Amino acid sequence: MTTIGNNLQQVLGRIAQACAAAGRDPASVRLLAVSKTFGDDAVRRAAEAGQRAFGENYIQEGVAKIAALRGGAIPWAPPLQWHCIGPVQSNKTRHVAEHFDWVHTVDREKIAQRLSEQRPAGLAPLDVCIQVNVDGGATKAGVPPAEARALAQAVARLPRLRLRGLMSIPDVAPDFAAQLAVHAAAKALFDQIRGEGGEGFAAFDTLSLGMTTDLEAAIHAGSTLVRVGTGLFGTRAAPA
């Protein structure tokens, strides 16, 4: 087994242990492998070890990997699933709409409208998470919690999009208790929005929280999808 394959088993073990500690079914938490800055070969090795969902922060880099791995000779079964987890500017919405399966970082109605208009009719609806700045971090993207419901309603009304849930990337917290507190706030908001429901909310089932360093706290709080890069692929090289 490759190093990435071993790492994958360790991460899945952490998820299972965290679910057991929280009294949850491990099947209720999905792993998103964050493959930004790692090449096609790294993604291929993870896919060969059984991983199917990959997250990309840099849209052009992600599109190139999607083309190389989706259009290649290897018939992945089930197919690889690609999530855009980086910021989406207006001039990049077409790339996201045409190539990705999910986008986690919608925080403006204008971006959602462009994604809806540019999603090809031949593809399934683009799955969308609203990014929420749950802890008010000054350098963090995302809609304020008080505005998340209205944005979710706007997305739910748009054709070619499917509202799936919320995503948050809080500032680094010093310990488990602090991590749990901020993730619990995101879970409370998720539950509130899901409970209010409405047309277009039938698939609202995803809370994208937690990364390599805090996935245990995120799972304890109720995350249904954890985004792991370093724990799977290793430390990223510093920019040249």
pLDDT tens digits, one per residue of 123-162: 999 999 999 999 987 767 899 999 999 999 999 999 999 9
CB neighbours of residue 190 within 10 Å: 28
Q: Which residue has the higher pLDDT, 137 or 231?
A: 231
- CB–CB of 132/165 below 8 Å? no
Band (113; pLDDT cuts 50, 70, 90): very high
DSSP assignment string, the chain:
--HHHHHHHHHHHHHHHHHHHHT--GGG-EEEEE-TT--HHHHHHHHHTT--EEEESSHHHHHHHHHHHHSSS---SSPPEEEE-S---GGGHHHHHHH-SEEEEE--HHHHHHHHHHS-TTSPPEEEEEEB-TT--TT--SB-HHHHHHHHHHHHTSTTEEEEEEE--PPP-SSHHHHHHHHHHHHHHHHHHHHH--TT-TT--EEE---TTTHHHHHHHT-SEEEESHHHH-PPPPP-
The DSSP bridge pattern shows strands 225-228 and 161-167 to be unpaired
pLDDT confidence of residue 240: 44
Instruction: Write down the pTM of the prediction.
Output: 0.95
Residue-range domains of the chain with CATH = 29-233 (3.20.20.10)
Mean of per-residue pLDDT scores for the chain: 94
The pLDDT tens digits of the residues spanning 4-39 come to 999 999 999 999 999 999 999 999 999 999 999 999
pLDDT confidence of residue 239: 47
